[in-house]
Structure 1
Amino acid sequence: MAEAVVGLLIGKLGEALLSEGAAYGASLLCTEASALKGFFGEIRRATGWLEIMKAFLKDSEKFKDTNETTDLLVKKIRGLAFRMEDVVDEFKYKLEGEKHGGFAAKMKKRIQNVKVWRRLAQELREINADLEDVAKQRNLCALPERRDGGSDHHASLTNETVCFAREEDLVGIKDNAEKLKGWLTGDLKEHKSKIVAVWGMGGAGKTTLVNYVYKIVKEEFDVAAWVTVSKSYQVKGLLQKIAQETGISVDVSNMDMRGLGETISNHLRCKSYILVLDDVWEQKVWIDIMDVFPNGRSNRFVFTSRNFEVASMATSGCAVKLAPLEDNNSWKLFCNLAFRNVGDKKCPSELRNLAVKFLEKCDGLPLAIACIGRLLSCKPPTLSDWKKVYEELEVHSSVIRGVDSILKLSLEDLSYELKNCFLHCAMFPEDYHIKRRRLIRHWITAGFIKKQQNKTLEEVAEDNLYEIINRSLLQVTEVNEFGRVKSCQMHDIIRHLALHKAEEECFGKTYEGLGTFSEDGIRRLSLQSANIAPLCESGTKNLRAIHAFISNLDIDLLKPILASSSLLSTLDLQGTQIKVLPDEVFSLFNLRFLGLRDTEIQILPETVGRLQNLEVLDAWKTFLKYLPKGVTKLKKLRYLYANRVATQGLSLFDGVKVPRGMRNLTGLHALQQVNASLETLCDVAALTELRTFSVSECPELKCVPRGIENVAALEELYLVDTAEELIEKLRQKHEADESNKELMKISHIRKISEHASNK
């Protein structure tokens, strides 16, 4: 996944080049301008090399674990990309620092920065020279030619193994098997074509289920064929397989595409037939070949896939998604396999606790249970032998051998933008319910999301989330009243594999307080233990994100880490019991996300205004009473959430007071929950990008806020504890017409509520 690192870096280089004009314009010294010219020249040079490297990395990913030379080359490119990212981030950090202080202080910094620009330019020259060397070495590293199916070796092996499942090992499939049989044979006399789809995450048992039903129903058709589709399929190769499996006797190896299509079509005409296309990765597979198949008699097509996009092509009501096995079925399958050589297939009482631990790692995934069960069936059923297997599994980060090869294919198939988004999800704890809004803000502020034509960053990020869900890499755990995802989680086995990949790629690492911790250039750190003292000794300095998932975090222990992580862009302390932020936080000029939700923070200092790159300030459900004047300096802010736990009255949460000058925050998308004056409301009317606005405890507000009609993008408006007179007017919103000018001001707002939002 080094391609994802390089892709992200190319975006950062582009952002740096956008600042070129401003940097020259601010330069008052000829020496400074000369140094900057050298720096930007090296950035342009680097961008060209990295584009070439990204193409190479995309091709090399499939061979990375089977070709040692490729492994070394990929590792070297990733290391160079990280070095370059450090240089670019330091440049932006220093450039931002020039903006603070009086004239004399700024001049002093500029004089000092001349040396910095020269040093950074020299570092880039050295990195570019190394990139040129890598490009030459790349020519010596000939990647294997892509043949149809060649890159899917592990997947095909596993699929074949699954198809050999014994009848007694087919557990928990009865209901879905009956569905499939009904769809495939229930209306054969009607001579209709039908597409049936079975989809779900890798290893969920799709192939096993379909193979079981296929063996039963294939005798009902004149022709029956099963074809496993290569992930890197070629249309001609796929048609040749179909021709062979449907029983065409003539040699098709030298036929062109047209000849192949006509031969298959003629062979199937006037016959009933069933064709299983196993492991279909994209809709294009079917679109490429669908016209080959004739209508007329009853014909059935069955797709298995990891992607919802493929399943959506099924005939209405003929698609099934496989969920993990329930506990009782997991236990039954495990015992059938682990004790296959034992007459009653029962687990001895002394092994039961360990068996439960094995199943916890499998988390209901049939393939994982099968792999573990078969392995244990070859071991003596003794506590000591089973313990050895379990300990080996622990050492290998819980990635079960035989399962990783299947799931890695799903990771490899992601675009580099989706890879970054996916790996980020692994930073959350096991079984954690990840909120959609929080995840999207993380992705945006981390730079994973790039704006697309006619779409906001939020819309692109949400598209990415649904893409990952539809590829069965995330599971939906909660939806809202409109069917929109509210939260999701990652299957344990998927997460273990993602964590292994994240650590290998230096993307991120979880800290659970066990053993020694090696920083090793890790970019993102997930704190899941309060014992963070060893981290201070590890010399963390390359961090870009810290996510805390413990309530009893000692903020003083975090100070050295913050002091050494000057390029940090995300600090999410949600749910911790901290009462005050250390001064080190307000020197993090690169910070884009500051998460204080559900903490005991009581005050934010004026120095928060130094965080000029901040895009998200989340102080929801805290003990803040007001926001400092410095907040109005945060001109890049997109989301501002702040309310406080109520100490009296009926409300659970009260709004916070905000300073005058909020009109300066022209990029704000969300502002909640403001304890506002009428003057502040006038400021808000100037925020034309605002999508969500919440105001509370403003009893003097008796009419619709003036200027609200100018906030054309506003979608949600919450007016809490305002005048009853205004509440009555809001209840008549649906009656708005041109004669009621006041209600017409808010006719464009999708949702208006007198109750507090639960963001």
Structure 2
Amino acid sequence: MSKVFKLMQRLVSSKEEAAKLHELILKCGGLPQVIVEIAGILAKKTVTLMDTVGSTNDRFMQTLENNPEYDSLQGLFSWMYSYFRSCPDSLKPCIFYMSLFPRDQSPRRRRVVRRWVAEGYSRDSEDNSAEQNGEKFFSNLLDLSIIQHPPQLVTATSGDRRMISCRVNGFIREYIVSRRMEENLVFELEGCCEITTQRTGRHLIIRESWDRDKIVFESMDFSKLRSLTVFGKWRQFFVSESMKLLRVLDLEDSLDVQDADLEKMLKLLRRLKFLSLRGCREIHHLPSSVGDLRQLQTLDIRHTLIVNLPGNIKKLQKLQYIRAGTSIQAQESSTPCLSVPKFCGRHRQFGVMVPRGINKLTTLHTFGVVNIGASGGKAILKELKDLTQLRKLGVSGINRRNSKKFSSAISRHVHLESLSVQLDKGSQSCLSGIVLPLKTLQSFKLHGPVEKLPVLKIDELSMLTKLDLEMTILTEDDIKLIGSLSKLFTLRIKLLQDSKLHFCVK
């Protein structure tokens, strides 16, 4: 394999040519047979080398399937055809769905699964929720090698393989893209497009490279559209009255999305089940009209400038997933940082204020980051106690005044698997002596300043696999406590004072 790569790299003479060749290599998906065949043909080219690279990139799968020079790959394509046709019908839409994301991006697992739930590809069953079934589908794609992940992105849990983000195998992605229009599922806008009646389907992707031609956009048929995903710059005309059936609006990291644009979206797209404004840093305000999205299940406004949730959000009885708040990079420090794996890029979390009546959202299973100190303190903690279906909770603003109430509020949360706590400044010892009876907890993040860990009963922490701490000092008792966590997989510790860490790993 390495010899083939070196041979191909010697055939180019500029960075631009190298970039085109690198793109071609990525499309091969690491398959030795495909790489060797392409390298062998390119090695025979002289004057037309880069023309061949460019044309192969533009029509990768068509070239490999139809060009007689690649006849030796026909067996591979016959196997690919039977491979996909033999997949369960319930999994096929999920496979085609992965081609929505650009080749050079790694979408987060949660983003993908929550979209499947909103689309109806993953539904509740007798034994599992729609999200649990979506996680199983995701694991199936991993087992089939359709999606892959670098090792450093794994956050394994006992008996389960989890990842933060994923990437579709390059060759399989090209195969999916070449077939998806046959299923009438996906259509996309990129580069410079002409007006055509063939752009119709369930999922529209606007690529960053598209020239944002309004005439082309308004000529399209959106009557069957179920999802809209935008990469790059947003334009006001991207929302249309004809998108009445739209369920998923994903604007993660889109540019130039303004508050006025959001107002228009919420007015026209009343059937949304998934709304992501994550990373839209020009959004300051979440309108009260969000309460009209009665079908909404997922709301992701993380890393926007939104600092409070409107009162009407309590009307969203089907809401299951709220991700809000932001983080900033903490100042660089010379203090020691122990990481397994290496971990020093600390971010301080900032939550949002939430209104009274949040306890009416009884279907919530993911909620955070909530600024407890700025949201009414005792009142919001009392309501938090009623959200007993929570699986994942993130809070900030914990201090001496509310720490005991907070401990009491989560004591009934018997399903909680992930807990993230950010303390206020000057609250070093506020958790000292407090008991956190969290039997089902798998992930625990406690960001400082912390002088002493809360009381954690070891028999109730048998599920704990991830521990992320930011502390003023780590005592010998704390080290013994950590050492007794037999199933711990990921340990991250940052000390805020000049101290030494002495661990004996057995």
TM-score norm. by structure 1 comes to 0.49
Q: Superposition pairs for residues 348-367 of structure 1, below 5 Å?
A: 358-359=24-25, 361-367=27-33
Measured against aligned partners, the alpha-carbon deviations of 1:307-328 in whole angstroms (never above 9, x if no partner) come to xxxxxxxxxxxxxxxxxx44x4
Measured against aligned partners, the alpha-carbon deviations of 1:127-167 in whole angstroms (never above 9, x if no partner) come to xxxxxxxxxxxxxxxxxxxxxxxxxxxxxxxxxxxxxxxxx
CA distance in 2, matches of 1:421, 1:429: 16
Q: 1:652 aligns with which of 345, 348, 361?
A: 348
**Residue 207 of structure 2: aligned partner:** 528
CA distance in 1, matches of 2:367, 2:24: 47
CA distance in 2, matches of 1:502, 1:715: 37
Amino acid across the alignment from 1:554:
W
Is 1:721 aligned with 2:423?
yes
CA distance in 2, matches of 1:683, 1:497: 50
CA distance in 1, matches of 2:111, 2:422: 24
**Are the aligned partners of 2:192 and 2:211 in contact in 1 as well (CA < 8 Å)?**
no
CA distance in 1, matches of 2:462, 2:417: 5
Q: Superposition pairs for residues 57-68 of structure 1, below 5 Å?
A: none
**Are the aligned partners of 2:279 and 2:303 in contact in 1 as well (CA < 8 Å)?**
yes
CA distance in 2, matches of 1:731, 1:625: 30
CA distance in 2, matches of 1:450, 1:633: 23
Is 1:663 aligned with 2:368?
no
**Residue 606 of structure 1: aligned partner:** 288
Amino acid across the alignment from 2:38:
I
Q: 2:385 aligns with which of 685, 694, 699?
A: 685
SS of the residue aligned with 1:564? coil
CA distance in 1, matches of 2:250, 2:228: 6
Change (3 A) 1:533 1:389: closer
**Are the aligned partners of 1:569 and 1:590 in contact in 2 as well (CA < 8 Å)?**
yes
**Are the aligned partners of 2:325 and 2:352 in contact in 1 as well (CA < 8 Å)?**
yes
**Residue 489 of structure 2: aligned partner:** none
TM-fit CA distance, 1:446: 1.2
TM-fit CA distance, 1:496: 1.1
Measured against aligned partners, the alpha-carbon deviations of 1:681-719 in whole angstroms (never above 9, x if no partner) come to 111211121111222114321304344333322222323
Is 1:694 aligned with 2:394?
yes
Q: 1:428 aligns with which of 84, 101, 104?
A: 101
CA distance in 2, matches of 1:373, 1:499: 23
**Are the aligned partners of 1:719 and 1:755 in contact in 2 as well (CA < 8 Å)?**
no
Moved more, 493-502 or 607-616: 493-502
Q: 2:322 aligns with which of 640, 647, 654?
A: 640
**Residue 558 of structure 1: aligned partner:** 238
Moved more, 606-615 or 423-432: 423-432
CA distance in 2, matches of 1:620, 1:629: 18
Equivalent pairs: percent with the same residue?
24
Is 1:499 aligned with 2:177?
yes
SS of the residue aligned with 1:442? helix
SS of the residue aligned with 1:407? helix
CA distance in 2, matches of 1:696, 1:536: 43
TM-fit CA distance, 1:674: 0.8
CA distance in 2, matches of 1:620, 1:663: 21
**Residue 628 of structure 1: aligned partner:** 310
**Residue 133 of structure 2: aligned partner:** 460
TM-fit CA distance, 1:396: 5.7
CA distance in 1, matches of 2:40, 2:351: 59
Change (3 A) 1:730 1:390: same
CA distance in 2, matches of 1:531, 1:606: 33
Measured against aligned partners, the alpha-carbon deviations of 1:651-695 in whole angstroms (never above 9, x if no partner) come to 633111100011111100011011122111111211121111222
CA distance in 1, matches of 2:63, 2:292: 44
TM-fit CA distance, 1:373: 4.8
Change (3 A) 1:750 1:404: same
**Residue 710 of structure 1: aligned partner:** 412
Change (3 A) 1:596 1:347: closer
**Residue 51 of structure 1: aligned partner:** none
**Are the aligned partners of 2:362 and 2:387 in contact in 1 as well (CA < 8 Å)?**
yes
Moved more, 386-395 or 486-495: 386-395
CA distance in 2, matches of 1:527, 1:750: 42
Structure 2 unaligned regions, length at least 5:
66-72, 332-345, 440-454, 472-491, 493-506
Amino acid across the alignment from 2:64:
I
Measured against aligned partners, the alpha-carbon deviations of 1:604-651 in whole angstroms (never above 9, x if no partner) come to 110000000000000112111111011111110010111035699996
SS of the residue aligned with 1:383? coil
- Bigger CA radius of gyration: 1
SS of the residue aligned with 2:403? coil
Change (3 A) 1:698 1:657: same
Amino acid across the alignment from 1:621:
H
Pairs aligned (count): 408
SS of the residue aligned with 2:324? strand
TM-fit CA distance, 1:464: 1.3
TM-fit CA distance, 1:732: 7.8
TM-fit CA distance, 1:412: 1.5
Structure with higher helix content: 1
TM-fit CA distance, 1:467: 1.2
**Residue 500 of structure 2: aligned partner:** none
CA distance in 2, matches of 1:392, 1:484: 35
TM-score norm. by structure 2 comes to 0.71
TM-fit CA distance, 1:753: 7.0
Structure 1 unaligned regions, length at least 5:
1-324, 336-345, 736-741
**Residue 387 of structure 1: aligned partner:** 51
CA distance in 2, matches of 1:620, 1:474: 25
Q: CA RMSD in A?
A: 3.7
Q: 2:371 aligns with which of 675, 680, 699?
A: 675
**Are the aligned partners of 1:393 and 1:400 in contact in 2 as well (CA < 8 Å)?**
no
Q: 2:189 aligns with which of 511, 519, 522?
A: 511
Amino acid across the alignment from 1:714:
L
TM-fit CA distance, 1:557: 3.4
**Are the aligned partners of 1:404 and 1:497 in contact in 2 as well (CA < 8 Å)?**
no
